[in-house]
């Protein structure tokens, strides 16, 4: 038998031709906190069942790695669905709805009690201990469609109309087959880290370790504001018969997507008008603070809220906290010695506080404008507000309690913005709100800053870490929440971002992520942007907007 040389962690090792990654991984498992989930072979992700047939460089990954964590979660969802039908019968099913407090909100097709959830969790752990294989099976696309029709999963069957491959990879667990649009763990044994949290008879939360949790699964904290916003948004989408990608694609292929665009834009404008009415109903409010994670459209939303307030007879003024960044030479550094623009200390908080205090006392001030090219503030624009005016301030840190802490609470109104995607791919696979924002950012950064995809992907991990540390902890403290996602937008973003993603070379460390996003976007039919209004939130990313960004 011929021998091969593999390189792992800089050390070389001789193996037999055709050795599986699972076999090799056993010698390295002791170096990991969790079970190894997948491997990267010469830069490409591979399942542990795959074999080595040439000299290769190998890196093993557990769920503390971003991509491996996503694969772990998909495996966990599959385990949960299989266990649910084992307990409640083949006619019972689950719908994976959306993220909720570092977990996933799940709705069963039958009412459940707390004790039912305990039975489900025990069954899942029993299946984990049984070490059942999750087997890869290649079938024709038509065979897969027929299988899902026969078991009553018409949504999954319909989505396969938009998959162009002749053959598909399904995964078999026990007597069940499923399709998750991703790689999978090779057995249930590695899926032991999870908890189920009961909410009510209509739903529960599947929780698991994330890459941001250093000490395992944290105690559940219910995020009522975001949960309510998700429920409200999904209820509206359901009224329009738009619950998944297939529903959206049917609108596109039926040539009535322009009406949907108009409907969605009308609803966003109506929501902002209602928000403006709530703000002015409290005559004490002098400052409105708007915050949200990256690429939620904070600038456009704030501009549109200003117009709504003006239509109600108010004279709002707008500030961006980004203009109060400390000069580049004073930017705090992260653990690796790189500038950390996500921390609150990256903002000149003293200058910001002094500026707002002067404005609220009627003084005229010269505002800073941050020059991102030079990395320093410039002072050109003057501002003065009257006692009847309202000051709108947008920024990622606007909800931090340290910001304007000396201003009485009754004089402040806080709004949390989030791009909460209403659509699912199918009942078992959701559309990630994080992916939606990432696609927005790739398009915007390329258009406005000339950044290529790799630059955006490289910075994204740091951006996400900053959101976890400095934005998400305060989301439930907001007086109001507002959803900035457009139900049609992924079809539009596809036309802008897909060519950019294809520019990533196989030798790039970001190639796997680019391919993942390309495969995700293939499920969506393209939507032209000509019918999107110039004041749409989406224009902040694709261009052609009427607001100065």
Contact present, 470 and 397 (Cβ < 8 Å):
yes
Q: Is the pLDDT confidence value at 262 over 80?
A: yes
Mean pLDDT in residue range 123-145: 96
Contact present, 368 and 324 (Cβ < 8 Å):
yes
Q: How do beta strands 11-16 and 3-8 pair?
A: antiparallel
Residue 549: inside a domain: no
pLDDT in tens, 6-45: 999 999 999 999 999 999 999 999 999 999 999 999 999 9
How crowded is the C-beta side of 338, counted as CA atoms within 13 Å? 6
Mean pLDDT in residue range 60-75: 96
State whether 346 and 280 are in the same domain. no
Q: Is the pLDDT confidence value at 548 over 80?
A: no
Give the C-alpha separation, 398 to 403, whole Å.
7
Q: Is the pLDDT confidence value at 335 over 80?
A: no
State whether 26 and 93 are in the same domain. no
Length of the chain: 549
Contact present, 136 and 178 (Cβ < 8 Å):
no
Residue 439: inside a domain: yes
Q: Is the pLDDT confidence value at 70 over 80?
A: yes
Q: What is the mean pLDDT of the chain?
A: 94
State whether 476 and 520 are in the same domain. yes
Report phi then psi at 444, rounded to 5: -65, -45
Question: Facing residues of 413 across strands?
Answer: 288
Look at residue 72 in the predicted model and tell me its pLDDT.
98
- pLDDT more than 70, % of the chain: 100
Cβ partners under 8 Å of residue 439, min gap 6: 490, 493, 497, 517, 521
State whether 394 and 531 are in the same domain. yes
Q: 416: which 2 tokens?
A: 């949390």
Residue 26: inside a domain: yes
Report phi then psi at 464, rounded to 5: -65, -40
Provide the sign of the torsion angle of the four alpha carbons 443, 448, 452, 454, taken in this order. Answer: negative
Instruction: Give the model's confidence band at 533: pLDDT under 50 very low, under 70 low, under 90 confident, else very high.
Output: very high
- The residue out of 222, 247, 262 marking a domain boundary is 222
State whether 285 and 360 are in the same domain. no
> What DSSP character marks residue 347?
B
Q: Which domain holds residue 167?
A: 67-222
Q: Is 313 left (phi over 0), alpha (psi -120 to 50) or beta?
A: left
Q: Count of CB atoms within 10 A of residue 344's CB?
A: 16
Contact present, 56 and 26 (Cβ < 8 Å):
no
SS (H, E, C) 413-459: EEEEEECCCCCEEECCEECCHHHHHHHHHHHHHHHHHCCCHHHHHHH
Return the SS3 of 81: helix
Check which CATH number belongs to the domain holding 192 and give it: 3.30.980.10
pLDDT in tens, 100-114: 988 999 999 999 999
Cβ partners under 8 Å of residue 506, min gap 6: 43, 44
Residue 547: inside a domain: no
In the chain, the number of structural domains is 4
- The residue out of 168, 188, 222 marking a domain boundary is 222
State whether 139 and 288 are in the same domain. no
pLDDT in tens, 151-182: 999 999 999 988 888 999 999 999 999 999 99
> What DSSP character marks residue 525?
P
Which residue blocks in 54-152 are alpha helix, DSSP H?
A: 66-88, 114-130, 141-150
Terminal alpha carbon distance of the chain:
64
Q: Is the pLDDT confidence value at 246 over 90?
A: yes
Look at residue 163 in the predicted model and tell me its pLDDT.
85
Which is nearest to 137 in space by CA: 169, 175, 107? 169
State whether 439 and 310 are in the same domain. yes
Look at residue 265 in the predicted model and tell me its pLDDT.
96
Contact present, 415 and 229 (Cβ < 8 Å):
no
Give the C-alpha separation, 137 to 486, whole Å.
36
Residue 257: inside a domain: yes
State whether 162 and 26 are in the same domain. no
Q: CA-based diameter of the chain, in Å?
A: 85
Q: 515: which 2 tokens?
A: 């391919």
Report phi then psi at 250, rounded to 5: -65, -35
Burial class of residue 275 (count of CB atoms within 10 Å of its CB; 0-12, 13-18, 19+): buried
Q: 522: which 2 tokens?
A: 């293939």
State whether 288 and 409 are in the same domain. yes
State whether 370 and 327 are in the same domain. yes
Contact present, 433 and 490 (Cβ < 8 Å):
no
Residue 433: inside a domain: yes
Q: 496: which 2 tokens?
A: 């802008």
Question: Facing residues of 47 across strands?
Answer: 38
Q: In Å, how far from its chain's centre is CA 38?
A: 22
Give the C-alpha separation, 472 to 477, whole Å.
10
Instruction: Give the model's confidence band at 1: pLDDT under 50 very low, under 70 low, under 90 confident, else very high.
Output: low
Give the C-alpha separation, 72 to 189, whole Å.
11
> What DSSP character marks residue 40?
E
Give the C-alpha separation, 141 to 147, whole Å.
10
State whether 374 and 415 are in the same domain. no
Look at residue 530 in the predicted model and tell me its pLDDT.
94
Give the C-alpha separation, 81 to 93, whole Å.
7
> What DSSP character marks residue 129?
H
Residue by residue, DSSP assigns 285-332 as: --EEEEE-STTS-HHHHHHHHHHHHHHTT---EEEEGGGGBPPGGG--
Cα Rg of the chain (Å, integer): 25
Give the C-alpha separation, 468 to 447, whole Å.
26
pLDDT in tens, 359-388: 999 999 999 999 887 888 999 899 999 888
- The residue out of 62, 78, 97 marking a domain boundary is 62
State the Cα torsion 184-189-191-195 to the nearest 10°: 160
Residue 24: inside a domain: yes
Contact present, 413 and 282 (Cβ < 8 Å):
yes
Residue 347: inside a domain: yes
**Residue found by looking up tokens 């290529």 in the block:** 452
**Residue found by looking up tokens 């100065």 in the block:** 548
State whether 102 and 40 are in the same domain. no
Which is nearest to 196 in space by CA: 212, 220, 213? 220
């Amino acid at each position: 038998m011929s021998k091969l040389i593999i390189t792992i962690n800089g050390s070389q090792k001789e193996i037999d031709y055709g050795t599986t990654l699972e076999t090799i991984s056993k010698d390295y498992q002791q170096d990991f906190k969790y079970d190894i989930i997948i491997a990267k072979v010469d830069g490409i992700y591979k399942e542990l069942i795959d074999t080595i047939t040439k000299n290769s460089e190998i890196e093993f990954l557990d769920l503390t790695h971003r991509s491996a964590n996503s694969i772990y979660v998909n495996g966990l969802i599959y385990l949960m669905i299989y266990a649910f039908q084992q307990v409640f019968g083949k006619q019972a099913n689950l719908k994976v709805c959306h993220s909720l407090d570092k977990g996933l909100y799940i709705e069963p097709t039958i009412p459940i009690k707390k004790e039912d959830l305990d039975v489900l969790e025990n069954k899942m752990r029993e299946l984990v201990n049984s070490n059942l294989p999750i087997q890869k099976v290649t079938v024709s696309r038509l065979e897969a469609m027929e299988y899902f029709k026969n078991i009553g999963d018409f949504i999954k069957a319909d989505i396969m109309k938009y998959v162009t491959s002749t053959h598909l990879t399904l995964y078999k667990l026990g007597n069940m087959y499923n399709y998750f649009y991703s790689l999978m763990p090779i057995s249930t044994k590695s899926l032991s880290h999870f908890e189920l949290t009961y909410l009510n008879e209509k739903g529960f939360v599947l929780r698991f370790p994330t890459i941001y949790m250093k000490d395992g699964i944290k105690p559940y904290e219910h995020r009522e504001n975001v949960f309510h916003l998700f429920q409200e948004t999904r209820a509206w989408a359901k009224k329009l018969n738009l619950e998944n990608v297939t529903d959206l694609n049917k609108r596109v292929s039926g040539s009535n997507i322009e009406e949907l665009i108009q409907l969605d834009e009308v609803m966003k404008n109506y929501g902002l008008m209602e928000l403006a009415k709530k703000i002015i109903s409290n005559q004490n409010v002098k400052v409105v603070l708007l915050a949200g994670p990256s690429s939620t459209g904070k600038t456009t939303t704030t501009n549109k809220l200003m117009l709504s307030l003006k239509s109600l007879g108010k004279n709002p003024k707008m500030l961006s906290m980004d203009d109060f960044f400390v000069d580049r030479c004073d930017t705090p550094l992260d653990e690796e010695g790189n500038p950390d623009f996500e921390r609150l200390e990256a903002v000149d908080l003293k200058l910001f506080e002094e500026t707002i205090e002067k404005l609220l006392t009627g003084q005229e001030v010269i505002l800073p404008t941050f020059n991102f090219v030079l990395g320093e503030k410039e002072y050109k624009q003057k501002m003065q507000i009257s006692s009847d005016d309202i000051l709108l301030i947008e920024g990622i840190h606007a909800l931090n309690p340290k910001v304007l802490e000396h201003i009485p609470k009754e004089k402040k109104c806080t709004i949390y913005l989030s791009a909460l995607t209403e659509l699912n791919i199918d009942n078992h696979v959701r559309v990630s709100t994080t992916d939606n924002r990432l696609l927005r950012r790739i398009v915007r950064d390329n258009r406005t800053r000339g950044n290529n995809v790799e630059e955006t992907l490289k910075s994204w991990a740091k951006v996400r870490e900053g959101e976890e540390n400095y934005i998400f902890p305060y989301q439930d403290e907001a007086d109001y929440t507002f959803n900035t996602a457009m139900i049609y937008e992924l079809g539009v973003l596809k036309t802008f971002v897909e060519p950019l993603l294809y520019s990533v070379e196989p030798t790039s460390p970001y190639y796997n992520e680019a391919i993942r996003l390309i495969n995700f976007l293939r499920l969506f039919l393209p939507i032209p942007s000509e019918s999107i209004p110039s004041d749409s939130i989406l224009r902040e990313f694709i261009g052609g907007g009427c607001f100065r960004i």
